[in-house]
Structure 1
Amino acid sequence: MKTNRTTRLAAFCLLAASQLACAGKAVAVREDGETPITLRGTVIGPISSGSKADGTFFKAYHLKLGRAMTFDDGADCSEQSKASLALNQEDMGRYKGKIITVKAKVFCQTNRTGTYHLSGIVVQ
């Protein structure tokens, strides 16, 4: 029993240390928009932004993260801290209000929102 407790305690400490080490680091988003990531959060929305008049209107469900993450493509979107990310995929409404884990590609949507979104979403 002591060995099991010791192993669990060591695993917990390692996890806590890795999370602290990663805090504040920006996720590097590659220029090609092919940056895969696994995230967990609650589906909220749909959330609207932009204007129909100037062609920037955008409406999507979002993945609300447990804590904000920073993304940086080193280009148009640059470094941004995001508490939620738009889910650029049809049928995300069926997950509204649910906590889900997704594997997706993070990319900068320059032509509408100028912020980071998720595409190629696979709900796990």
Structure 2
Amino acid sequence: MVNKVVALNTLIAVNKVIVVAAMLYSSSILAAIGIPEDGKKMTITGVVTEAIATAPDVEPSFKAHYLQLDEPMVFEDEGACGEITQHRIALNGFNLSSYQAKRVSVEGTVFCQQEYTGQYHLQDIKIKLLK
């Protein structure tokens, strides 16, 4: 009888550890997933990198650049692009070349660029230089 009680207590303790680990894992994933509702902005930090090749008829001052994210982010729009982990995100805006190779905080609207890249981009951005 004592062995059965010890075995049962051990099983309960192991199950508790598994449940807590699963909760921690899922909460860390859920914190990263999700795009704000349409029109709501989010803030992302990283380093502005190279310009992205654009069509020849695009105005020269409007060249998209990548923002190399401080940490990979999981985006989810529950739609066209679905769930994607990105290490960088395209910034759509004017005069971004002045921020190239600089660490910035970018506030903008995340959207799925389904037609061309199938990834998430930031538009309607405001950039703040960081130290």
User: What band does the TM-score fall into relative to the shorter chain?
Assistant: 0.5 to 0.7
Correspondence for 1:27: 33
- 1:54-93 to 2 correspondences below 5 Å: 60-93=64-97
Q: Which has the larger radius of gyration?
A: 2
Q: Name structure 2 gaps, 5 residues minimum.
A: 1-24, 56-62
Distance 2:40 2:84 in 1: 16
Q: TM-score, normalised by structure 2?
A: 0.64
CA contact (8 A) 2:77 2:83 kept: yes
Distance 2:92 2:27 in 1: 26
Aligned-residue offset at 1:22? 5.9
Runs of at least 4 residues of structure 1 off by over 4 A?
none
Distance 2:53 2:116 in 1: 11
User: Aligned pairs, how many?
Assistant: 96
| Residue 102, structure 1, aligned to residue 106, structure 2 | yes
Equivalent residue in structure 2 for 1:36, among 2, 17, 41: 41
Structure number with higher relative contact order (C-alpha < 8 Å, ≥ 6 residues apart): 1
Secondary structure class of the residue paired with 1:24 = helix
Larger helix proportion, structure 1 or 2? 2
Secondary structure class of the residue paired with 1:63 = strand
Aligned-residue offset at 1:89? 0.7
Aligned-residue offset at 1:46? 1.1
Q: TM-score, normalised by structure 1?
A: 0.67
